[in-house]
Amino acid sequence: MSKRQPLFGVAPGTASQDHSHVDLEAMESENDRGIAELSERVGTLRGITGGIHGEVESQHRLLDSMSMSMGGVQLSLRATADKMSRVMAEPHKRRMIYMAGSAAVFLFVVYVWLAR
């Protein structure tokens, strides 16, 4: 007989070997339940991460489309600013812009005054 203690229970050949066999089965069934619980949790986490991945992809596509549309707006705004700079460079066209702007402000003030 060895002087080393066995990993589970008592040394083989002793009277309590039957109890250790029952203890081993109980530990094994407890481990199986633990593994089943972990497997269920892993499945749940897998579902959650799949949902997060789908949402991230959706947001990524939305941001890409917004970036493309904002690029178009930026080009349009730049073209408008360039045209406005050319118009403002000529004195007679500048006076016309000031008159049109003044008329728009006057009409807005009249609209607000009449809306009361």
Ranked by mean pLDDT, the top range of 22-26, 69-73, 77-81, 83-87 is 77-81
**Amino acid identity at 16:** S
pLDDT computed for residue 87 by the predictor = 80
pLDDT computed for residue 5 by the predictor = 55
pLDDT computed for residue 17 by the predictor = 56
Q: What is the pLDDT of residues 23-55, one digit of tens each?
A: 888 888 899 999 999 999 999 999 999 999 999
Residue 66 token pair: 């917004």
61-84 exposure pattern, b = at least 16 Cβ within 10 A, e = fewer: eeeeeeeeeeeeeeeeeeeeeeee
In a domain, 40, yes or no: yes
Count of structural domains within the chain: 1
Q: What is the pLDDT of residues 10-21, one digit of tens each?
A: 555 554 555 676
Range of the domain at 60: 18-87
Q: Rounded to an integer, what distance in angstroms lies between the CA atom of residue 24 and that of residue 30?
A: 10
Q: What is the pLDDT of residues 87-104, one digit of tens each?
A: 888 888 888 888 999 999
In a domain, 70, yes or no: yes
pLDDT computed for residue 8 by the predictor = 55
In a domain, 6, yes or no: no
In a domain, 77, yes or no: yes
From its phi and psi, is residue 13 left (phi > 0), alpha (psi between -120 and 50) or beta? left
In a domain, 42, yes or no: yes
In a domain, 1, yes or no: no
In a domain, 31, yes or no: yes
Q: Is the pLDDT of residue 73 over 80?
A: yes
CA-closest candidate to residue 8, choices 33, 32, 27:
27
Q: Are 87 and 98 in contact (CB under 8 A)?
A: no
